[in-house]
Amino acid sequence: MIRILGLVAALMFAIPAVAQPLPGNLDKQNAIVIETTKGTIVIKLRTDIAPKHAERIKQLARDGFYNNVPFHRVMDGFMAQTGDGQNFNGTGGSKYSNLKAEFSNVPFKRGVVGMARAGSPDSANSQFFICFADASFLNGKYTVVGDVVSGMDVVDKLKKAPAGSASGTVTDPDKMLKVQVASDIK
């Protein structure tokens, strides 16, 4: 009897976090589920304002590019950045070409997901960031690609760079363990 209870308990804890229900009325074709070392984050991709960037994120998720990729830059009160599946440190991109900016009037605020880029507005590739708070100074300068619809508490738990760190680089960072398009999850 104890073995059976132990087996049942083990199976309950082995159920993946994605088995939890996704937010109602979520368009699963245009949402990604990120399993992290701290829990699950669900992002609704904004195909209405950034269709090419949203497609890129879905493609890279389907390629497995984002799996085991660190949140390499996490600045308390600002944002958590990830998506460098090439070099894992914020210096890399994907095998695909850079994207032309898709700027919008959507403001950067808590839970908004933006595409990271280099100096050129048309240099976004694979990296993205999630805002912890208002970041209106980014408005009109970076592409808004999505919104966190579940899991901001998880984003808040990500290991952050030391206070005062100008680069925001994290030592021994948390990771995106697995990233999937919601409709692909079986």
- Ranges assigned E (strand) in the chain: 31-36, 40-45, 69-70, 73-75, 79-82, 112-115, 128-131, 144-150, 175-181
Instruction: Tell me the pLDDT tens digit for each residue of 126-146.
Output: 999 999 999 999 999 999 999
More confident residue, 2 or 49: 49
The residue type at 16: P
- pLDDT score recorded for residue 2: 52
How is the beta sheet containing 144-150 ordered, strand by strand?
A: 69-70, 175-181, 31-36, 40-45, 144-150, 112-115, 128-131, 79-82, 73-75
Report whether pLDDT(1) > 50: no
C-beta of residue 108 within 8 angstroms of C-beta of residue 116 = no
Range of lowest pLDDT (5-14, 22-31, 112-121): 5-14
- pLDDT score recorded for residue 20: 58
The residue type at 162: P
Task: List all residues 6 or more positions away from 77 whose beta carbon is below 8 Å from its beta carbon.
Answer: 132, 133
Report whether pLDDT(50) > 70: yes
- What is the CATH topology of the domain spanning 27-184? Cyclophilin (2.40.100)
What is the residue extent of each domain of the chain?
Answer: 27-184
